[in-house]
Every structure is written in structure tokens, then in C-alpha cells.
């Protein structure tokens, strides 16, 4: 390695460093920016990271009564899931 660096003194070393600094990011952008690569490797994991659209809450409660209703619904769902788990655990 040191023999290579001894041969690349002055301007030649600067040209090598410049070409690495410029072409390495460009090569990465060409490889990872390819739409086919993105569709093959990134898109399948999108569903694992982000919830589907039908599970998103887009209308938030604005008054206290609707907020209490939503909280009651959430608590009821949690209690249902807990009861199902206990039922499964007791049957196992």
C-alpha cells in the first residue's frame, strides 16, 4: 500500500482522491436509486413498517364527548383481546 502511495505524490494523489470522492457517491446513487432495485428490496417492507391505510385514523375527535367515546372503544377492544388471550391460554 505504501508503495502505491509513494508513486502517487502531489497531483496524482489529488486526482485519485477527487475521483474517489466524486465517483463513489455517484456509483451508490446509480445502484440504490434504480427503480427496479427499490421495488424489489424496499417496497415489500413498506407494509411491515407503516400501517395500511384502512388502519390509519384520519378523523380525530374534536370535542370531549367524542374523545371519551373513542377511548371507550379502544378500551373495549383491548379487553376483548385480553379475554381472547386468556381463553387461548386456558385452553392450551
State how far the Cα of 21 lies from the Cα of 36, in Å rounded to an integer.
26
In three-state secondary structure terms, 10 is coil
State how far the Cα of 67 lies from the Cα of 29, in Å rounded to an integer.
47
Task: Count the helices and strands in the chain (H runs, E runs).
Answer: 5, 0
Find out whether 62 and 70 touch, Cβ atoms under 8 Å.
no
Find out whether 47 and 55 touch, Cβ atoms under 8 Å.
no
pTM of the entire predicted model:
0.42
- Span 1-11, pLDDT tens digits: 667 667 766 67
- Span 15-65, pLDDT tens digits: 888 999 999 999 999 999 999 999 998 888 887 888 888 888 788 888 999
Provide the grid cell at 56. 390509519
State how far the Cα of 47 lies from the Cα of 37, in Å rounded to an integer.
17
Amino acid at each position: 500500500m505504501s508503495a502505491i502511495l509513494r508513486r502517487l505524490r502531489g497531483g496524482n494523489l489529488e486526482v485519485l482522491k477527487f475521483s474517489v470522492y466524486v465517483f463513489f457517491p455517484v456509483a451508490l446513487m446509480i445502484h440504490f436509486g434504480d427503480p427496479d432495485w427499490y421495488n424489489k428490496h424496499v417496497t415489500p417492507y413498506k407494509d411491515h413498517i407503516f400501517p395500511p391505510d384502512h388502519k390509519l385514523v384520519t378523523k380525530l375527535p374534536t370535542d370531549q364527548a367524542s374523545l371519551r367515546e373513542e377511548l371507550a372503544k379502544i378500551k373495549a377492544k383491548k379487553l376483548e383481546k385480553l379475554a381472547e388471550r386468556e381463553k387461548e391460554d386456558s385452553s392450551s
